[in-house]
């Protein structure tokens, strides 16, 4: 008897996952406990193990496809067994796949069986979101079943153009090629918005839509901090980063300014009991925010070790799901890239996020006319104005400024 491999629910809020890579191929032997496929969901890639012994009879969900929880992924059974004709819910073309240019849209054709339109659950959900009448969409699935890519195609004037070949020589102006609302030029490549990048896009857009945010910028003299860090590292033989001191300072400021640790839940304000700080880590495929939990109770040494460990495991995709959940505040440090100021977007459900900018040298004249070189850094605090007022935010920023300008207070 053949067994169905279905999309697991890896978290309470998970609705669908993206098939990232099939580890086992059709025809290969499989043992219970073997990793058979990698699934990406909510910024995390997880390995799915087989529950059965047998052979990979048929892979239904292709790499790059979004499949709803409990959607069919594959069949495992004995060689030669006949498997069902049901298929997992396909999405748009996989990331690496290219499709030829098509000049005209497909003509809509109603697909029904005994008066009922055959459509997959994910396709129906997508149609509802996009306002598409799927009764007039031609299905490309088995027995004319409408799948998600049919809805996406119907939503455009023509099928998605994934790649356009570039001729060896072009002597005339390059024509534009329509793809939805975007004009593509020869040589352009279109890839599917999927996986971590899709999650980041959705979360950032949601934050901008829902939160009336304000960003305030403060300039901080970090000359003493830079000297203090250098002395500590030399005396103790360690390598504390500037970010370690910033994390410690922010943790202390949050502990003394609990009014920043709030979140809005409908018509209720939740006052957070824990100082859990999310630390933005940039990856090639997107952004992930692992969380240092109860950071106010950590020493500088513990903060440094925890931050390095989380960042490394984030880059190697080894974080557990609970390690990027539960933040009550976030920090995004772009100082190492030379960024002078920016407006970070609040990472919901937090009420605020602190942007950390580059340390820069400046010449300063004192009251007696003496000129000296000092080092300055700007912080950009973006907050939810429904919960935090400008003056309240300013007091919090001044608390951080006081600590960073007097680094010994960070450790006391």
Mind listing the pLDDT tens digit for each residue in 357-400?
999 999 999 999 999 999 999 999 999 999 999 999 999 999 99
Span 13-41, mean pLDDT? Answer: 88
Segments making up each domain of the chain, as ranges: 3-88, 108-194, 211-411
Across the chain, mean pLDDT equals 83
Pick the CATH number of 3-88 from 3.20.20.60, 2.40.50.100, 3.30.499.10, 3.40.390.10: 2.40.50.100
Domain 108-194 has CATH 3.40.50.1110: no
pLDDT score, position 172: 42
Q: How far is CA 270 from the centre of its chain?
A: 24
Distance between CA 129 and CA 152 in Å, rounded? 11
Strands of 255-325, DSSP E: 262-265, 268-271, 277-279, 281-283, 286-288, 291-292
**pLDDT confidence of residue 135:** 82
Q: Which of 3-7, 132-136, 315-319 has the highest mean pLDDT?
A: 3-7
- The CATH topology of domain 211-411 is Chloramphenicol Acetyltransferase (3.30.559)
> Residues with Cβ < 8 Å from 328, sequence gap 6 or more?
254, 261, 263, 272, 274, 275, 276, 277, 350
pTM above 0.85, yes or no: no
Distance CA 288, CA 385 (A): 24
- What is the C-alpha separation between 188 and 163, in angstroms, rounded? 6
Among 203, 325, 385, 395, which one carries the catalytic annotation? 385
Q: How far apart are CA 303 and CA 317, in angstroms?
A: 21
Across the range 46-65, mean pLDDT stands at: 88
pLDDT at 178: 44
If 0-12 CB within 10 Å is exposed, 13-18 middle and 19+ buried, where does residue 221 land?
middle
Residue 274 catalytic? no
Dist. CA 406–CA 96, nearest whole Å: 52
Nearest in space to 388 (alpha carbons), one of 231, 299, 257? 257
Segment 226-271, tens digit of pLDDT? 999 999 999 999 999 999 999 999 999 999 999 999 999 989 999 9
pLDDT of 181-234, one tens digit each? 677 888 888 887 777 788 788 889 999 999 999 999 999 999 999 999 999 999
pLDDT of residue 52: 85
pLDDT for res 112: 45
Judged against a pLDDT cut of 50, whether residue 304 lies above it is answered with yes
pLDDT computed for residue 181 by the predictor: 63
Q: What is the mean pLDDT of residues 1-16?
A: 80
Pairwise CA distance, residues 254 & 276, whole Å: 10
For range 116-120, the mean pLDDT: 74
């Amino acid at each position: 008897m053949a067994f169905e491999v279905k999309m697991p629910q890896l978290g309470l809020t998970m609705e669908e996952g993206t098939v990232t890579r099939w580890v086992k191929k059709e025809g290969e032997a499989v043992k219970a406990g073997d990793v058979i496929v990698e699934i990406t969901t909510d910024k995390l890639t997880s390995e799915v193990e087989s529950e059965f012994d047998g052979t990979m009879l048929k892979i239904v969900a292709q790499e790059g496809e979004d499949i709803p929880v409990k959607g069919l992924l594959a069949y495992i059974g004995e060689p030669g067994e006949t498997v069902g004709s049901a298929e997992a819910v396909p999405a748009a073309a996989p990331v690496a796949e290219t499709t030829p240019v098509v000049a005209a849209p497909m003509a809509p054709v109603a697909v029904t069986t005994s008066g009922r339109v055959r459509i997959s659950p994910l396709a129906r959900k997508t149609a509802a979101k996009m306002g598409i009448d799927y009764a007039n969409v031609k299905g490309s699935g088995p027995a004319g079943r409408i799948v998600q890519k049919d809805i996406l195609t119907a939503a455009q004037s023509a099928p998605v153009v994934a790649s356009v070949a570039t001729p060896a020589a072009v002597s005339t102006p390059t024509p534009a090629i329509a793809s939805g609302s975007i004009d593509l030029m020869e040589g352009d490549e279109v890839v599917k918005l999927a996986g971590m990048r899709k999650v980041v896009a959705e979360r950032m857009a949601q934050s901008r839509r829902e939160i009336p945010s304000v960003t305030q910028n403060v300039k901080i003299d970090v000359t003493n901090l830079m000297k203090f860090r250098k002395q500590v590292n030399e005396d103790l033989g360690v390598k504390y980063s500037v970010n370690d001191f910033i994390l410690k300072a922010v943790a202390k400021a949050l502990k003394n300014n609990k009014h920043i640790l709030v979140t809005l839940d409908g018509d209720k304000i939740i006052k957070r009991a824990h100082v859990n700080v999310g630390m933005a880590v940039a990856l090639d495929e997107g952004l992930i925010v692992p969380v240092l939990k109860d950071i106010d109770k950590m020493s500088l040494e513990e903060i440094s070790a925890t931050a390095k460990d989380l960042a490394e495991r984030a880059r190697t995709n080894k974080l557990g799901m609970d390690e990027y959940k539960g933040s009550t505040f976030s920090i995004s440090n772009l100082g190492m890239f030379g960024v002078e100021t920016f407006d970070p977007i609040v990472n919901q459900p937090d009420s605020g996020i602190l942007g950390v900018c580059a340390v820069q040298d400046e010449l300063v004249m004192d009251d007696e006319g003496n000129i000296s070189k000092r080092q300055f850094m700007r912080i950009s605090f973006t907050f939810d104005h429904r919960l935090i007022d400008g003056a309240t935010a300013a007091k919090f920023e001044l608390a951080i400024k006081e600590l960073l300008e007097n680094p010994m207070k960070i450790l006391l």
